[in-house]
Amino acid sequence: DKRRNKKRFNKTLEYLVKEDKILLKGKKVELVKDLEWNSELFNLGVPINFKMPYFGDYAYFNWQDIVVIASKTGYGKTHLAMNIVQRLVKQGIKPYYIYSETGGRFAKNALKLGMTPNQFLHAALHDPRKFRLPKDMKRPVIIYDWFRPHDWAKTDEIFERLLEKVKKVDGFMILFMQLKHDNTYFAINMLEQFPSWVCKYLYEDDTNGIYTKFKVTKIREAKMQGNFRDIPCVYDWETKQVKLINELSEEQVKYSKEKLSQNTLTKQTEVRNSSQP
């Protein structure tokens, strides 16, 4: 009868858990597979066959890696995402762009940057739990703009599922996320477990979005020793291009440094004046 069958079923579950054959997560049952032992050293961790935009000079990246870029609302995540898409297209890559905001504004940015139809693929996704990739995909480069967990307490679980799906297609993912108003991460301890690179995209001055920077907080495999945690950039409002300072001409660098110094001096003066009675 039903009661006897349920008792037998529960005993079977207990046995399988005890023998490390399955894992119970709430009402979900997951199969535990034996480890796949391997003595190979040379074919593990295959490097990507393109230069990671903005960060390629600072770290090594492999297929199956996830890169995280976090920024506050209105700080140009989509502008930056389209710049990354454009830099990939110029290397002969046809990226997959996933967007979560309505209005299709990414298309305006792409056209402003000089891109044309069919250079990249795009799709809308508003719930990261529904993220799926076709099984026949092979080594896709995915830009996800932007990733919004419905429950930040489960960030590690969602990241683990994302990573598993990226692994299945041997892909590479660039993931944009939200920062808090004080420029800190949501769920920082869980966020940095899985990605190979984590950074913030910040303004040098919150009142001026021209001079920006990447503030790196995690690098799995750096190319060099030393402190390069801040990578300065310049955003061109007219062309919508984001460039690293070291990509500018000497004259442009000099001008940028002067402007940055002026901004810093102005900010220091404002702070000093506001502190005076």
Residue tagged 């079977």 (tokens): 12
Question: What is the pairing mode between strands 172-178 and 121-124?
Answer: unpaired
Give the three-class secondary structure for 86: helix
64: left (phi over 0), alpha (psi -120 to 50) or beta: left
- Give the pLDDT score at 228: 65
Over residues 38-74, the pLDDT tens digits come to 776 666 689 999 999 999 999 999 999 999 999 998 8
* Range 209-229 average pLDDT: 87
More confident site: 131 or 143:
143
Q: Tell me the pLDDT of the chain averaged across its residues.
A: 85
Give the three-class secondary structure for 246: helix
Torsional sign, CA 237, 243, 248, 254: positive
- Residue 190 pLDDT greater than 50, yes or no: yes
Q: What are phi and psi of 135, to 5 degrees?
A: -65, -25
- Residue 101 pLDDT greater than 50, yes or no: yes
* Range 77-96 average pLDDT: 96
Q: What are phi and psi of 122, to 5 degrees?
A: -140, 150
More confident site: 239 or 6:
239
- Residue 275 pLDDT greater than 50, yes or no: no
Residue 273's pLDDT band (boundaries 50, 70, 90)? low
Can you count the helices (H) and strands (E) in the chain?
6, 11
- Give the pLDDT score at 272: 40
* Range 198-204 average pLDDT: 94
Torsional sign, CA 235, 236, 242, 248: negative
Q: For the chain, give the percent of residues with pLDDT over 70.
A: 88
- Give the pLDDT score at 269: 44
Over residues 176-185, the pLDDT tens digits come to 999 999 999 8
- Give the pLDDT score at 257: 66
Closest by CA position to 211, among listed 179, 184, 178, 243: 243
- Give the pLDDT score at 132: 87
- Residue 271 pLDDT greater than 60, yes or no: no
With a CB cutoff of 8 Å and minimum separation 6, the contacts of 217 are 185, 192, 198, 199, 200, 229
Residue 265's pLDDT band (boundaries 50, 70, 90)? very low
- Give the pLDDT score at 153: 74
- Residue 151 pLDDT greater than 90, yes or no: no
- Give the pLDDT score at 256: 67
Lowest-pLDDT choice from 48-62, 108-122, 191-205: 191-205
